[in-house]
Amino acid sequence: MDPIKGTRNKGVERKMEITEVRIKLMEDSEDRLRAFCSITIDHCFAIRDLKIIEGSNGPFVAMPSRKLSARCGRCGNKNHLRSLYCNQCGARLRGMQDLRDVEGGNANKLYADIAHPINQECRDLIQQSVIGEYVLELERAKLPGYKSRYDDEYAENAAAPESTKNVGNAPRPNMIDRGEGSPTTSQAASQANMPPSSSDRPSDSKDFGTGIF
CATH of the domain at 170: 3.30.1120.40
Residue 130 belongs to some domain of the structure: yes
The pLDDT score that the predictor gives to residue 104 is 66
pTM: 0.59
> Based on the domain organization, do 40 and 100 belong to the same domain?
no
Residue 12 belongs to some domain of the structure: no
Q: Tens of pLDDT along 61-73? A: 999 988 888 888 8
> Based on the domain organization, do 56 and 81 belong to the same domain?
no
Residue 1 belongs to some domain of the structure: no
Q: Tens of pLDDT along 102-148? A: 776 666 677 788 888 989 999 999 999 999 999 999 999 999 999 99
> Based on the domain organization, do 46 and 122 belong to the same domain?
yes
Q: What is the dihedral of CA 85, 86, 91, 95, to 10 degrees?
A: -60
> Based on the domain organization, do 46 and 95 belong to the same domain?
no
Residue 5 belongs to some domain of the structure: no
Are 212 and 33 in contact by the 8 Å Cβ rule? The answer is: yes
Q: Which region, left, alpha or beta, applies to residue 102 given φ > 0 means left and ψ of -120 to 50 means alpha?
A: beta
> Based on the domain organization, do 125 and 181 belong to the same domain?
yes
Residue 162 belongs to some domain of the structure: yes
Are 53 and 59 in contact by the 8 Å Cβ rule? The answer is: yes
> Based on the domain organization, do 86 and 139 belong to the same domain?
no
> Based on the domain organization, do 167 and 96 belong to the same domain?
no
Residue 42 belongs to some domain of the structure: yes
Query: How many domains in the chain?
Result: 2
> Based on the domain organization, do 95 and 134 belong to the same domain?
no
Q: Tens of pLDDT along 170-193? A: 444 444 444 444 444 445 544 444
Report how far residue 145's alpha carbon sits from residue 164's, in angstroms, rounded to the nearest whole number: 10
Beta bridge partners of 113: 65
| SS3 assignment, position 92 | strand
Q: Quick one: DSSP state of residue 184?
A: P
For 213, counting Cβ atoms within 10 Å of its Cβ (0-12 exposed, 13-18 middle, 19+ buried), the class is exposed
Residue 8 belongs to some domain of the structure: no
Report how far residue 75's alpha carbon sits from residue 102's, in angstroms, rounded to the nearest whole number: 14
> Based on the domain organization, do 97 and 178 belong to the same domain?
no
Residue 161, pLDDT > 80, answer no
The residue ranking higher by pLDDT, 6 or 113, is 113
Q: Quick one: DSSP state of residue 95?
A: S
Report how far residue 168's alpha carbon sits from residue 144's, in angstroms, rounded to the nearest whole number: 9
- Phi, psi for residue 105 in degrees, rounded to 5: 70, 10
> Based on the domain organization, do 105 and 156 belong to the same domain?
no
- The distance from CA 99 to its chain's CA centroid, rounded to whole angstroms, is 31
Residue 209 belongs to some domain of the structure: no
Q: 140: domain range?
A: 17-65+113-191
From 86, 109, 132, give the residue that closes a domain: 109
The pLDDT score that the predictor gives to residue 11 is 59
> Based on the domain organization, do 181 and 120 belong to the same domain?
yes
> Based on the domain organization, do 23 and 84 belong to the same domain?
no
